[in-house]
Chain A
Amino acid sequence: MMAQLTSSERQNIIAIGLAILIGGFTLAILGRNDILGIHALLFVAAGGLAIIVGARNLYKPEPSEDRSQSYYDDPSKVGIFLALIWGIFGMFIGDWIAWLMAFPDMTFSEGWSSFGRLRPSHTTGVIFGFGGNALIATSFHVVQRTSRARLPSQVLPWFVLWGYNLFCLLGVTGYFMGITQSREYAEPEWYADIWLVIVWVSYFGLYIWTLARRKEPHIYVSNWYYMAFILVVAVLHIVNNLAVPLSWGSAKSYSLFSGVQDAMTQWWYGHNAVAFFLTAGFLGMMYYYLPKRAQRPIYSYRMSIISFWGITFFYMWAGSHHLHYTALPHWVQNLGMSFSVMLLVPSWASAGNALMTLNGAWHRVRDDAVLRFMMVAAIFYGLSTFEGSFMAIRPVNSLSHYTDWTVGHVHSGALGWVAMIVFGSFYALVPWLWKRKSMYSARLIEVHFWLALAGTVVYVFALWNAGIIQGLMWRTYNDGGTLAYSFMESVDAMRPYYVARGIGGLLFLTGTILCLYNVWMTTRMATETDTESVDQSVATLQPAE
C-alpha cells in the first residue's frame, strides 16, 4: 500500500504524524490532572504510528510514473474493512443493550458497561464508524469514476480516513471512561470535536479539488449528494459543538447555548444528522451503485433535481418536530411540522426514482441478491420517510414520542435503508476494486440478504407494537380522572417485544459478520482481468472523449 506513495509523500506523513504527536503530548501534559491526560495519549499513539509507518517506508523505491493514469483506490479498500469492523462492533453493542433492556442484569458491575455508556457506543459505532467509513470509502470511489479524475493527493485521503477513525475511537473510548457532552450523536468532547473539524475540512477540500479536476462536463447526482453531506455535516458539527472547555486541561466543556435554545440547536443538529449523514450521503451511494448494478439509466434526471433541492431545503426546517409539546414555543413546533409534511414528497420522489430505475431490470433483481439489497433499501427509505413525516404531525407525535415507536422508526431507516444500501454497494464494489470476477460466495450473499431482511422486519414490527402499547398505556385514564397504568407496568409490558428485538438484532448482526467474511475471502481470491466486469473502465482512466 505504501508502494504507491512518493518519497515526498512519505515525508509528509512523517510530518503530519509529528504534528499530531506534539499536539497530543501538549494536551496530555495540560490535562495531566484530568482524565483528558489519559485520553490525549490516543493522539500520541496515532501520531507515533504515522511516524513509524512513514519512516519504515521512507527509503522504499519511488512508484512508477504511470500511476496518474489510474484511480487511487487503496483508501477505499481499507475503508470498506473499517466500516464492516465498526459495524460488527456497533451492532454487537446494539444487540447487547437490546437484551439488557429485557434482562437488566445482563451486564458487568463496572461503570463502563452501564447502559448509559454502551448506548452512545452503539450509536457512534454504527452511525459514524460503520456508516461514516462506508461513506468515505464509496465517495472516494464514486468521485473518481464519475469525474474521470484521480484523487489529487495520496496523503490527504489517508489523513481523512485515519483521522476520521481516530475521532470515532476517541468518541467510543471516551464514553467507556465516562466522557460525554450528553448531546445525542454529538457526545465526544471539545478536543475530539476540534480534531474532527480539521479532518472534515480536509475531506471537503479533497472532494472539491477532485471535482475541480474532473474530465466530465457535468457533475453527477451522486456527487451533489456527497457534497451536501460533507458540507452540511461540517456546518452542523461546528455550530452544535460550540462550547467552552472548563480549562485547556479538562475534558469537560459547557455548551455555548442554554435552555430551550440549547435544545433547539441540538435537534436542528440531530435531525439534520439524520438528513445529511444518514440520508444524503447514502442517496449518493445509491445513485451510483444501483444504476451500475442494474445496468439501467436513471429513471428521471428531472426528478433527481427536484428531490435533491426539495430534500436539502425542507430538511433544514424540520428539526423542531423532535421537541413537540415541550417548552419550545408552539409556533416553532408548527413550523417544523409543516416542513416535515412537505418533506415527504421529495423523499418519495427519490425512492420512486430509484425503484423506477429498476424497470427493465426486475429479472436481475429477482436473481441477484446484491441488487435486491439495493431495492429493499429504497423501499425502506420510502417507508421510513413516510413514517417520519407522519410522526412529525403533533397529535401523532403525542402518542409516539418518548416511546419505542421512535426507536423502531430509527431502525427501519438504519437497518432497512442505511445498512442495506451499504451492503448492496459493498457487494457490488468489492469485486470491482480488487479486480475479482465476483464475490467469493453468492450463496452467502443470499443468506445475508434474508438474515438482514428478517432481522429488520422482526426488529421494526416488535418496536411498533411496543411503542404503540406504551403510548396507549401512558394516556389511558380511568373514570376518576387518574391514569390507569403506572409507568412500571408499561415497562413490564415491553419485555416480549424487547426479547423479539434482541433476536432480530442477532439475525442482523450474524448477517454482517457473514459479509465481512465474504469480503475477506474475496480479497484472497486470485485476480481476474475479466473485462466483462460491469465496471468497464476498471481502474484505468479512459482518455477524454
Chain B
Amino acid sequence: MSVGERDNHSGHMTTGHEWNGIKELNTRVPRIVWACLIGSVIISVIMWVIWPTWPIWNTFTPGILKTDERAQLVQEIQQVAGKRSDIDQQIQAITYDGLIEKPELLSQVRSDAHLLFQDNCAACHGVQGKGEIGFPNLTDSAWLWERDEDVIMETLKVGINDQHPDTRTAEMLAFGREGMLERQAIKDVIAYVLKSGETPIDGKMDYGNAENGSLVFEENCASCHGEDAKGDTDIGAPNLIDNVWIYGGDTSSLFQTIWNGRKGHMPSWEGRLSETERKILTLYVMDLESANKGKSK
C-alpha cells in the first residue's frame, strides 16, 4: 500500500504515488466544482424536458414546449411577407417618374435595391454600378438598349446572350478572325471611328486611313451601328462616337474587338429574382443615371 505524506505548502496529504518525481495531492474536489457539475446537469435536464432532445426508436422526445422550428420559420416568413405586401404592390404599380414624387417610397426602393444590387449585380457592374472592362457602366447616359422601364425589365428578365429561351442577343462579329476584313481595313475603320468620335488616337496619327475607313464602315458596320455610328438601341449595338467604351477605346482594344468580335453575357434573372425585385432594380438603374446626371451638372 502506498503511504501518503503531508505537503508543507498546502497542508494536504499526497496519494503516496510517485512517478519520476511527480506526486499528487489527495485534495478533495472543491465544493464549487461539485456545485457547477450538478448545476450544469440540472440545466441540461431542463433543456431535455422542455425541448426536443432524445431519440426514441424512430422518433424523439418532443419536449413540453412542443417547439417546432419549421413552423416558426414559416410563420416568420409570412409575417415579413405581410408587412411587405403593401409596399410591394405600390412598387409594382409605380413608374420612375411617379416614384420621384414620393420621397418615402423612393428611399425604400433605394435601400432595398442597394442590397439586391450589391448581392447580385456588383460582381460585374461594380459596387457603384460604374462597370469594368467588359461590363457596361450603368450610371452614364450611354445605353445599349433603350433607357425605358419596360426595356430594362425585359433585359433583367431574359438576359443578354443568355440561355433563357427568349434571351436578347447582341453579337459583335469577329470580322478579322472570320476573314471578312483584312488587317489594314480594320486599322482604317478604327481610324475612321476614332476621328468621327472625340477619342484621341493614342499618339499614332498614322494608324490607319480614315477616308478608306469610312467606306469600310458604310459597307460593314452601318447596318448595326447606324450610318452616323451612333448605335442602335433596338439591337443593342453601342454608340461608337460617344467616347464611352465597354471594351476600351485604345487602338489595341479596338483591334481586338473588331478582329475577335464580342459577345457580352448578362445573366437572366427570371428564375432568381422575383418580379418585384426586378422592378426595384429597374427603378434603381434608372435612378443611378439620374443621380449621376444630377452630380455632373
Contacts and interface: CB of A to CB of B under 8 A. Distances in A.
Contact of A306 (B10, B33, B67): B33
Given A304-B24, A337-B47, A488-B118, A330 B111 contact: no
A348 B39 CA distance: 14
Contact of A220 (B19, B27, B61): B19
B52 A342 contact: no
Interface string B1-43: 0100001011000110101111111111110010011001101
A335 B33 CA distance: 23
A337 B108 CA distance: 40
A303 interface: yes
Interface in A523-545: 534-537
A292 B41 contact: no
A148 B19 CA distance: 8
B98 interface: no
B122 A297 contact: no
B53 interface: yes
Contact of B111 (A304, A478, A488): A478
Interface in A199-235: 216-218, 220-221
A300 interface: yes
B28 to A, nearest CB: 7
B219 interface: no
Contact of B27 (A303, A334, A348): A303
A146 B33 contact: no
A297 B22 contact: yes
Contacts of B111: 478, 480, 482, 484
Contacts of A310: 37
B51 interface: yes
A297 B23 contact: yes
Given A301-B24, A303-B27, A329-B60, A146 B19 contact: yes
A305 to B, nearest CB: 9
Given A345-B36, A488-B127, A331 B52 contact: yes
Contacts of B54: 331, 335
Given A300-B27, A302-B27, A330-B67, A481 B14 contact: no
A304 B23 CA distance: 13
Contacts of A486: 114-115, 117-119, 122
A303 B30 CA distance: 9
Nearest to A291: B22
B202 interface: no
Interface string A483-519: 1111111000000000000000000000000000000
Nearest to A287: B22
Contact of B25 (A299, A482, A483): A299
B100 interface: no
A306 B34 CA distance: 10
Nearest to A310: B37
A298 interface: yes
A360 B9 contact: yes
B112 interface: yes
Interface string B178-208: 0000000000000000000000000000000
Interface stretch (B80-88, B131-139, B147-155, B159-167): B80-88
Nearest to B79: A481
Nearest to B112: A482
Contact of A146 (B20, B36, B47, B51): B20
Contacts of B27: 299-303
Nearest to A545: B18
Contacts of B143: none
A212 B69 CA distance: 53
Given A331-B54, A359-B10, A486-B122, A298 B127 contact: no
Nearest to B40: A342
B87 A480 contact: yes
Interface in B101-129: 108, 111-112, 114-115, 117-119, 122, 127
Nearest to B117: A486
Contacts of A352: 33
B47 A334 contact: yes
A345 B34 CA distance: 9
The residue in B17, B26, B41, B61 that gathers the most chain A C-beta atoms within 10 A of its C-beta is B17
B122 A344 contact: no
Contact of A344 (B40, B69, B112, B119): B40
A469 interface: no
Contacts of A216: 17, 19
A334 B26 contact: no
Interface string B37-73: 1001101100110011111000011000001010000
3 A-B pairs with the lowest CB-CB distances in the bound complex, closest first: A486-B118, A360-B9, A300-B27
Given A221-B24, A300-B28, A330-B69, 19 more contacts: A292-B21, A297-B23, A297-B24, A298-B25, A299-B10, A300-B25, A301-B24, A301-B27, A330-B52, A331-B53, A335-B53, A345-B40, A352-B33, A480-B112, A481-B84, A486-B115, A486-B117, A488-B122, A537-B20
